[in-house]
Amino acid sequence: MAAHGDSDATEALTIETSVPYKSHIVDPPGRDVPTTPRELVSFFRDMSVMRRAEIAADSLYKAKLIRGFCHLYDGQEAVAVGMEAAITRADSIITAYRDHCIYLARGGDLVAAFAELMGRRDGCSRGKGGSMHFYKKDANFYGGHGIVGAQVPLGCGLAFAQKYRKESTVTFDLYGDGAANQGQLFEALNMAALWKLPVILVCENNHYGMGTAEWRASKSPAYYKRGDYVPGLKVDGMDVLAVKQACKFAKQHALENGPIILEMDTYRYHGHSMSDPGSSYRTRDEIAGIRQERDPIERVRKLLLTHDLATTQELKDMEKEIRKQVDTAIAKAKESPMPDPSELFTNVYVNDCGLESFGVDRKVVRTVLP
């Protein structure tokens, strides 16, 4: 479905963000965000695909088709979609382990996503990365990292390369509030500021680092101010248009002045991971309240209906089609075989180096590494 009335699909309209931006040593962008009916429809579609995919991943995990760690993104979709709307695929993104929807926002394929989750050969990391290690090099998406905060210095390294090569591109370097107290974050930020690297540190503040509320873990939970000498913005991360505006502003700032911090005020509906029911440290009423008042998909649905850009039935039909799309992708991913055992030895050592693998007795050669 395009916008209601194709002739008006590209007609510009302006929407005010849900709340004002809060800023630290920088003048914030304006609240009026230009958009089009077509863009709003695409936001609704993309976030709905992500929501449905994560709900499906929940079911696959419970059916033991996904094993190991699995961190779901439902509730936070506006961050991934709004960020992508403000940048290009030439810009880089790196994130932690809650990475499925960032991969999809970068143009990732649903079949490859589900195949990776189930450890299959056709996965985006050939079935060897699993939930926490999605990757899409052709779209400059660099993962997918399991060690808390470890991706932040890597992201600053990506930005160093961009500046060194004079590419006029930036890196969006994502981490959660649970990683916001990591020493390596401040070390990397210091170097990025000294060298004026084109990096945007994006704190996806969903208010719980695993099961620990932000106020219990951080003396100052105003993460957008934590850069001290680095400017920052606090953004309603449940408002896709506010995210888009902030990321567009941040990209331009980073290219001209160096690093900036964006704190995305967002929320996850699931627990920290599939092993966490998510109800022992917060109430069900809290979760229901966020769903009712701030859900990013429902906000866009309301905009589409209020501005007569789509009908209720059209949006329901789209959601029905998305459900079929996700189910078809899962069925196809299930047909993908498991990686060959020889894949254990690929992408580990340099090829043709002649290494031999022995058994525990050190006498019998088990395999020669490729």
Cβ-proximal residues to 360 (8 Å cutoff; 6+ apart), any chain: none
pLDDT for residue 7 is more than 50: no
Q: Which of 9-13, 31-35, 103-107, 337-341 has the lowest mean pLDDT?
A: 9-13
**4 lies in a domain?**
no
pLDDT, greater one: 141 or 10: 141
| pLDDT for position 49 | 98
- We report the CATH number of the domain holding residue 254 as 3.40.50.970
Check: CB of residue 260 under 8 Å from CB of residue 198.
no
pTM exceeding 0.75: yes
Is residue 1, in this structure, part of any structural domain at all? no
The domain total for the chain is 1
Question: Containing domain of residue 199, as a range?
Answer: 13-369
Domain annotation covers residue 7: no
**How does pLDDT run across 54-103, given as a tens digit for each residue?**
999 999 999 999 999 999 999 999 999 999 999 999 999 999 999 999 99
How do residues 312-341 score in pLDDT, each as one tens digit?
999 999 999 999 999 999 999 999 999 998
Task: Assess if residue 5 is contained within a domain.
Answer: no
Q: What is the DSSP letter of 233?
A: E
DSSP-derived pairing of the beta strands 260-265 and 232-236: parallel
* Structural domain contains residue 78: yes
Count other Cβ atoms within 10 Å, centred on residue 290: 18
- Please write the tens of the pLDDT for every residue from 235-293: 999 999 999 999 999 999 999 999 999 999 999 999 999 999 999 999 999 999 999 99
As a whole number, the mean pLDDT across the chain is 94
Residues with Cβ within 8 Å of 43's Cβ and at least 6 positions away in sequence, in order, are 81, 82, 85, 240, 300
Residue 5 confidence (pLDDT): 52
**pLDDT confidence of residue 6:** 54
